[in-house]
Chain A
Amino acid sequence: MRALSLLLSSSVLALAVTGCSQIRYAVEDSDVPVAFGQSLERPVGAESRQWYGVASLINWNDQFAVLSKPMPAALAKVQRKSGSAGGVVVSRIDEEQGVLDIVFQSLSGALSSLTLGASTAIVSGSRTATVKASEAK
């Protein structure tokens, strides 16, 4: 009982400190400059789905490289398309809880009810992010 209450209070504290269902748009390793602004080139959109678990604290994309993160996915797409190492311009970021995310969340909710909340601790939802980027000219 004591362990359970400790687990609950540390979860609440962690949520209070970090926030939940967090999506980060950042560039950690890039050989070329990546700007945020408008570009004359037509942007390409790279979509990626962010899964959450353990009461929304863990962004599964950080744990599993099989799912792409929004920013690296967009940069890779632009560089594949242009083949140039000149630089990238990110012009727009769109985020939503799309149809698949809603379906997944509903299934997750149903499973949570069946397992008396145990499954919510593992998976809780997802959001879809689309980063529009183009080659810098």
Chain B
Amino acid sequence: MRTTRILPAVLVASVLLAGCQRLAIDSKEVPANKVYFTTLKGAKVIGALEETQTATWLFWGLVPEAQPDAAQALNAYLRGNQRIQNLKIRTEQTVLDSVISTLTLGLYTQRSVVYSGEVVQ
């Protein structure tokens, strides 16, 4: 009986203290002066960037399992003197993300991170 009272209390306290579904998009491994959210003057567009990553958590978003890796998504488009302009990052819950969360009753949740932009030279 005591356990049934303590467990929900611990869960609620963890959620309130930690927050849920935390994700970080860090530029740590992204090379300097190569990726821009704005348009670069005089740059010639040579391709498009479109990459999707999935952030996943266990136990209603409390325990992170996989986090997005911005460098992995962007570095493949930065060969030689290539750069990226008009970068847009969006995070969203796609239909598939919602279905998975619902089927697992929130024990496993995921959110998609989409990178888009233009590759220029």
Taking Cβ atoms with an 8 Å cutoff, the residues of A that contact B are: 15-16, 18-27, 30, 32-38, 56, 71, 90-99, 101-102, 127-128
Contact = CB atoms under 8 A, between A and B. Distances in A.
The 4 closest A-B pairs by CB, nearest first: A19-B92, A27-B37, A22-B92, A26-B88
24 contacts: A15-B98, A19-B92, A19-B95, A22-B92, A24-B89, A24-B90, A25-B89, A27-B37, A35-B37, A36-B37, A37-B33, A38-B27, A38-B28, A38-B30, A38-B32, A91-B27, A92-B25, A93-B24, A93-B25, A95-B24, A96-B21, A96-B23, A97-B61, A99-B19
Nearest to A39: B32
A19 B25 contact: no
B95 A25 contact: no
A93 B87 CA distance: 14
Contacts of A22: 90-93
Contact of B37 (A15, A23, A71, A99): A71
Given A19-B93, A36-B30, A38-B30, A102 B87 contact: no
Interface residues of B, number: 38
A20 B28 CA distance: 28
A19 B33 contact: no
Contacts of B36: 33-36
Contacts of B44: none
Given A22-B91, A24-B90, A94 B22 contact: yes
A15 B36 CA distance: 30
A58 B11 CA distance: 30
Nearest to B112: A19
B16 interface: yes
Nearest to A26: B88
A99 B32 CA distance: 35
Interface in B76-116: 86-95, 97-98, 112
Interface string B53-91: 000000001000000001000100000000000111111
B31 interface: yes
A71 B31 CA distance: 21
Contacts of B112: 19
